[in-house]
Structure 1
Amino acid sequence: MLRRSHKKSRGGCVECKRRHVKCDENRPICRLCVLSDRDCSFASQDQQQQHDPSSRERSIESDRRHGETVLDLRNITPLTPVSIVDSPGNLPAQHPHDASLDDAINFDHMELLIHAIQDREMFEIGTGVGEYHASGIALGLKEALAAPYLMHELLAFSAQHMAFLHPERSAHYLHQAVSLQTRAISLFNTTWTEVNKSNCVAILLFSSILGHHLLADTLRKRDPGGLDAFIAHYVQCVEMHRGIYTIAKSAWPLLMQSELEPILTQSTAFTSRQPKGNDCEPIKKLINNSTALSQVEKDACHHTIQYLQVGIDAVAAKQEIFVNRHQMIYSLTMLVPPEMAALLAKKQPEALVLLAYYAILLHHGRELWQSGDAGLYVFGLINGYLGEEWDEWMQYPREKIVGDMAME
């Protein structure tokens, strides 16, 4: 029998040549490797190119020279399976490459996709979950067809939520979350160079889901490193979220012409509110009277306090049924100034007291899967670190968290 003739792919990728299939030679990742979720590389790639900075790295360095904040995922630490599992003994000692991830159609992935479509609780600290969940997921799936990094991160976050819902299978789902998130970041770093009209929606959705993922992981960690470990994770989360905020600002005109416009408008309306309550008056007084903070640092603290009060106002306004009362748990990490993150990183006492006020928001959201007992946990870490001389300033969050728990 005569074999059908075909044009050989001389410049195909290593994986397609190994499998003896025709490669479309699309770089940096060919379509077959995208569809089958395989690592794609080209042996014919110029060696000099491998040693020179990539276009993405050159773009990042250029942006930094011009004072721009960029979304740089090269140093993001992938999730570790101990994030949610209470007993490390439930985990396998190693996590070898999961062969099932190489399948073009994977029923484990289908389970995660169906869960993401049906379960609104995954994004319950996001904007307009009740109103926009169905349309948001539909938009995300449409964008993910052209941006595999978005699909991988959506599935990774779904796996993390499944690990919470099914603790008896948490090791299985957390392994999926780690593998899928690692692949998502790798694909993103390989394919993205700049934000434009064609990719701004996919990049913002990817960044937002990754931000939700990292925040949920941070809040559920119970690291033996105590406060130092929590601060390190939380500051990384803040820096990642500021990258999301920078993307949104730089691409705002394009995004407001996209299908994300209703969600972005609602989110902006919430974060632009003027604070009403006086819950944060004690911390304002502490910042104003501090001799350890510069004026720039005081301004950053007051900027953060304003958002904190808006968040506390929201959880108290139970009659506003169309407002996501817990959105500020997520939004605050995106809105705090870089000076505030620097104060947290060096464990400045005034910044830690301010973080204890953030723990009030976490405590109000203790029924959420992302928060759980994080409010009490974070308050305990800070209270144990600060000396007795800070008791006066810790009194209000103590009443709202510890006192509230005693009354239940």
Structure 2
Amino acid sequence: MASNPVGRRSHFKSRAGCLVCKRRKVKCDERKPACGNCTRHGVPCSFPSRPESAHSTPAASQARSDGVAESVSPSAMIPQSLSTSTLQLHDMELFHHYMISTCYTLSRTPVVQAVWRDEAPRVGFTMPAVLHAMLAVSALHLARCDPSRRDSCITQAHRHHELAVCMVTPNMPSLASDNGAGLFLFSSLTCIFACAGARSEDNSFSLFEQGRLANWVLLFRGTKTVIDYSSDDFSKGRLGPMFSNGHDAAAARGPHAMEQGQMYTWELKQFICREFSQDHQQLQVYEEALIALNKTLGIVLKPHEEPRLQTADIFAWLLETSEEYMESLVQGAPVALIIFGYFCVALRQIEGMWFMEGVSGRLMSQLSSLIDERYQGWLRWPKEQISWTPNSISI
């Protein structure tokens, strides 16, 4: 009786696996309605409408016997959430617009642009939430490029955004460990969507929502948690160029940048030291936030120089600030709000990127409305730097 060679297990070749496993070239257990792989990764699972059988056409049989790959139906390349039964022409248009235009606007660095163009869609084909987030951002970008279609594009943007959030929220813990790259891209795209959406409807872009930090702030800070706890090696994986660019930004945030930034916050620091001379714990919280902010301002406000800034140069401050500072911010502590007002000066420097337009002014409007008259003078310098007035209207 024939037996398998020692040390080698019998192998069951999946012939009727789901479309996602076929696309990923991994073994499928063929369990329905959702196979084990798709269940574990929290992605929609779908099977071919007609599984392979012994009655395959001669041409198909010959192709398999010759080792020639069979042609893949276009529908097999589309996640179930965007299957041909529900796929609309405007969805295809949004994907096309993303590939030829939007992806190049998400960074000023060519190698990072290439990641948004090549790798983000590949991740999206295995994690539909990322694909929907891409289409949501693409729709907002198209609305900006073609104002005559603004209303319809914004409607589509919010549809894809809501689908993305619904898909990823229930599976957040498993995705963080199994698909860290996808979760990082989803968080980044959602932050871009929030910033770009500041001009889409009623100018509603804020730092707080219902007594807590806005989702875009939480998501952005959450990217550090994804990086720390994911099994993915971000520096060497498919998103590597994003993180090598981030290392350059981190290197720039050295002692020289901090020293350069101190000239803009020196008076504020003296004021904070006087205000909290008896509360050393809170003084330390604010001083640490100010030190990190000095590094940011030192990079973006170099005299006689116009640095080629990236979003990483600016938003690094949000990752470096402590939970204690963020809690003071949520509670509406005047000094915490003032420090964030100074951060708006840094945000202003990247408003040349379409999704950042008007963000600093909208945040300053909210901060100004929350700060008591006694402290309004401390917002004078940042207001001047971003050309903000009570009657100013952001783009």
TM over 0.5: yes
Q: What amino acid sits opposite 2:192 in the alignment?
A: H
Q: C-alpha distance in 2, partners of 1:334/1:152?
A: 26
* Change over 3 Å in CA distance of 1:103–1:301 after alignment to 2: farther
4+ residue runs over 6 A deviation = 33-39, 403-406
Structure 2: gaps spanning 5 or more residues = 1-29, 49-74
Q: 2:216 aligns with which of 223, 232, 237?
A: 237
Residue among 277, 289, 310 paired with 1:304: 289
CA drift at 1:147: 1.3
Aligned partner letter, 1:243: G
Deviations 1:361-386 (A, max 9, x none): 23333433223333234334433443
User: Does 2:140 match 1:160?
Assistant: yes
Q: Which runs of 5+ in 1 are unaligned?
A: 1-21, 40-99
1:114 maps to what in 2? 96
Q: Partners of 1:333 and 1:343 in 2: how far apart?
A: 14
Residue matched to 1:350: 335
SS at match of 2:353: coil
Q: Hey, what does 1:249 align to over in structure 2?
A: 228
- Using structure 1 for the length normalisation, give the TM-score: 0.66
Q: Does the Cα contact within 8 Å between 1:23 and 1:32 map onto a contact in 2? A: no
Do the aligned residues in 2 keep the contact of 1:360 with 1:397 (CA within 8 Å)?
Answer: yes
Provide the C-alpha distance between the structure 2 equivalents of 1:240 and 1:174, rounded to a whole number of angstroms.
22
CA distance in 1, matches of 2:353, 2:244: 24
CA shift at 1:230, angstroms? 6.8
Structure 1 residues 343, 197: CA separation in 2 closer, same or farther (over 3 Å shift)?
A: closer
1:170 and 2:150 aligned: yes
SS in 1 for 2:126: coil
Say yes or no: does 1:31 pair with 2:46: yes
Amino acid at match of 2:244: T
Distance 1:169 1:392 in 2: 42
Q: Report the aligned-residue RMSD.
A: 3.9
Q: Distance in 1 between matches of 2:102 and 2:305?
A: 21
Q: Give the distance between the partners of 1:107 and 1:163, measured in 2 at CA.
A: 16
Q: How far apart are the structure 2 equivalents of 1:102 and 1:293?
A: 66
Aligned partners of 1:111, 1:247: CA distance in 2, in Å? Answer: 31
Q: Could you tell me the percent identity over the aligned residues?
A: 16
SS in 2 for 1:402: coil
Alpha-carbon shift at residue 349 of structure 1 (Å): 0.6
1:154 shift after superposition: 1.0
| Residues paired across the two proteins, number | 324
Q: Matched residues in 1 for 2:192 and 2:319: separation?
A: 11
Distance in 2 (alpha carbons) for counterparts of 1:351 and 1:381: 13
Report if the CA contact (8 A) 2:79-2:125 is conserved: no
Contact 2:133-2:161 at 8 Å conserved across structures: yes
**Displacement of 1:114:** 2.0
Greater mean alpha carbon deviation, residues 200-209 or residues 184-193: 184-193
The superposition leaves residues 108-156 of structure 1 with CA deviations (integer Å, 9 ceiling, x where unpaired) of: 12221122222257754x5x53332023321111222211111111111
Whether 1:186 aligns to 2:201 is no
For the structure 1 residues 403 and 137, does the alpha-carbon distance in structure 2 shift closer, same or farther, using more than 3 Å as the test? closer
- The answer on whether the counterparts of 2:176 and 2:229 sit within 8 Å (CA) in structure 1 is no
The change in CA–CA distance for 1:121 and 1:193 in structure 2 (over 3 A counts) is closer
Quote the residue 2:246 is aligned against.
267
TM-superposed CA distance for 1:215, in Å, is 3.5
Give the residue type in structure 2 aligned to 1:247: V
Matched with 2:364 is 379
State the alpha-carbon separation in 1 of the partners of residues 286 and 147 from structure 2: 38
Judge conservation of contact 1:315–1:325 (CA < 8 Å) in 2: no
Q: Structure 1 residues 306 and 326, CA, compared in 2 at 3 Å: closer, same or farther?
A: farther
Deviations 1:204-242 (A, max 9, x none): 222221222224335877568x97867958533222222
Aligned equivalent of 1:359: 344
| 1:210 equivalent in structure 2 | 190
Matched, 1:284 2:299: no
In structure 1, how many angstroms separate the alpha carbons of the residues matched to 2:84 and 2:289?
44
Select between 237-246 and 383-392 the one with higher mean Cα deviation.
383-392
The residue number in structure 2 matching 1:131 is 111
Q: AA paired with 1:316? A: L
* 1:242–1:373 Cα change, 3 Å: closer
TM (norm. structure 2) is 0.68
> What is the distance in 2 between the residues matched to 1:345 and 1:403?
23
Equivalent residues of 1:362, 1:375 under 8 A apart: yes
Once the two structures are superposed, residues 326-349 of structure 1 have per-residue CA deviations (whole angstroms, 9 ceiling, x without a partner) of 544444334432222222212111
Give the Cα separation in 2 of the matches to 1:25 and 1:331: 43
Q: Which has the higher contact order (CA 8 A, sep 6+)?
A: 1
Aligned equivalents of 1:160, 1:383: Cα separation in 2: 28
One-letter amino acid of the counterpart of residue 152, structure 2 = H
Q: How far apart are the structure 1 equivalents of 2:306 and 2:238?
A: 25
Larger radius of gyration: 2
Q: Distance in 1 between matches of 2:348 and 2:286?
A: 21
Which amino acid is 2:297 matched to?
A: I
Check conservation: 1:220, 1:374, Cα contact below 8 A: no
The answer to whether the 8 Å contact 1:153/1:184 transfers is yes
1:287-328 residue CA offsets vs partner (Å, 9 max, x unmatched): 32223995444434333333333332333347576x425544
SS at match of 1:194: helix
Is 1:397 paired with 2:382?
Answer: yes
3-state secondary structure, aligned to 1:259? coil
